[in-house]
Amino acid sequence: MIHERHLFGPGPANPYPEATAALGRPLLGHLDPAFLDVMDATCDQLRQAWGTTSARTLPISATGSAGMEAAFVNTVHPGDVVVVAVNGLFGQRMCDVAARCGAEVVAVEHEWGHPVDVERVLAAHPAPAIIAAVHAETSTGVRSDIAALGAGKGDALLLVDAVTSIGGIELRADDWGVDVGYAGTQKCLGVAPGLAPFTINDRAFERRVERPQSWYLDLGLLGGYVGEAGAAGGSGGRTYHHTAPVAMVASLHAGLTRILAEGLPAVWDRHEAAGRQLQDGLEEMGLELFAQKGHRLPELTTVRVPDGVDGAAVRRTLLERHGIEIGAGAGPYAASVWRIGLMGHNARPDAALLVLSALREALA
């Protein structure tokens, strides 16, 4: 039996109704001109969501982790120094992925719950090929300053994880000097999991690995799949690379249409307001927030499980009594932190009130 849930964890979030409705439309062939129009429109919308004009902006056909793999496998040459800012689980994963691509990884470790220390990251190596960081660390609920990394990156490429930031908080890839970025659909974009919005600029593309180890994620081949030649001023011809996940692209298109109609700044404000309402409410209940003040994400709140409370039992109660899913903590904080997401369609005052009242009841 399928239950309807309030998905207030770290993702997936409940999709925008428009994105869900699009999944039920008649399926098109993946080379049908009508579908190619949808793909073109979606790539245009993604450029807006990323804040980029890069022609090489596309939805990769897999989840956010495939975006991470694509970012590194296409840009890391064997022996390249890759400086990774690690302030949570996803920074750690970047180190693993980069190392598998043959990088000499310089991990700059931070205390979890703290933002990336830009000066320390920039000073970690005199001439890295790549500097990588997570914009919104979903494991800790922390936002880091990507613009400052971009300003100081020098000759390095800046590679950024925007899985939990895109469509939720300000993101300006071009202005901030982001050369390579990947994201996911299931968080603030308000679409089901399954695609990885991706962008790479000319500077990074020119330095790419000619024949990366991964065939599926080879950006040189994927260009033809999204008709990138046309966007870049070339022939515009489509070549079959793999079968596009047609329904998911249509759903992403619908979600982005919804977001862009509201306007990105308004969407960011809505996330900010819902996050503040939730965080203020939690503190009024006497709970302690985990992420460092001043660097908290509005879309993903981390809160310490009070002493003597069984965090897993509370989560179970919320799910069984109210159909509300919240997340456990990540990594070493699995038992001591809860993660509450108000992302995309869920970034609303009524959602904040709902989770606050359910949590208050469960803790009473």
- Amino acid present at 118: V
Q: Which of 76, 163, 248, 249 binds ligand PLP (CB under 6 A)?
A: 163
Question: How far apart are alpha carbons 163 and 167 in whole angstroms?
Answer: 9
Give me the residue label for tokens 């932190």.
337
**138 vs 277 by CB, closer to ligand PLP:** 138
Q: Binding residue per annotation — 339?
A: yes
How far apart are the two ends of the chain, measured CA to CA in Å?
Answer: 30
Site mask for ligand PLP (CB under 6 A), range 344-363, x = bound: --------------------
How many beta carbons lie within 10 A of that of residue 346, not counting itself? 24
> Which of positions 5-34 make contact with ligand PLP (CB under 6 A)?
10-11
Question: How far apart are alpha carbons 51 and 37 in whole angstroms?
Answer: 21
Q: Does 328 bind ligand PLP (CB under 6 A)?
A: no
Site mask for ligand PLP (CB under 6 A), range 78-117, x = bound: ------------x---------------------------
Q: Does 245 bind ligand PLP (CB under 6 A)?
A: no
Distances (CA, A) of 197 to 27, 67, 169, 306, 311: 21, 7, 16, 37, 33
Question: How far apart are alpha carbons 100 and 77 in whole angstroms?
Answer: 11
Q: Does 213 bind ligand PLP (CB under 6 A)?
A: no
Q: Does 65 bind ligand PLP (CB under 6 A)?
A: yes
Binding part of the chain for ligand PLP, among 46-54, 156-164, 168-176, 251-259 by CB under 6 A, reads 156-164
Burial string for 137-155 (b: 16+ CB within 10 Å, else e) reads bbbbbbbbbbebbbebbee
Q: Does 198 bind ligand PLP (CB under 6 A)?
A: no
Is residue 134 helix, strand or coil?
Answer: strand
Q: Which of 20, 63, 257, 336 binds ligand PLP (CB under 6 A)?
A: 63
**65 vs 317 by CB, closer to ligand PLP:** 65
Q: Does 224 bind ligand PLP (CB under 6 A)?
A: no
**122 vs 134 by CB, closer to ligand PLP:** 134
Q: Does 164 bind ligand PLP (CB under 6 A)?
A: yes
Judged by CB under 6 A, the number of residues near ligand PLP is 14
Q: Does 336 bind ligand PLP (CB under 6 A)?
A: no
CB 175 within 8 A of CB 52: no
Question: How far apart are alpha carbons 256 and 166 in whole angstroms?
Answer: 11
CB 14 within 8 A of CB 354: no
Q: Which of 107, 134, 259, 351 binds ligand PLP (CB under 6 A)?
A: 134
**183 vs 356 by CB, closer to ligand PLP:** 183
Question: How far apart are alpha carbons 264 and 91 in whole angstroms?
Answer: 26
Given the rule CB under 6 A, which residues bind ligand PLP? Answer: 10-11, 63-65, 68, 90, 134, 138, 161, 163-164, 184, 193
Mark the binding-site residues, compressed into ranges.
339
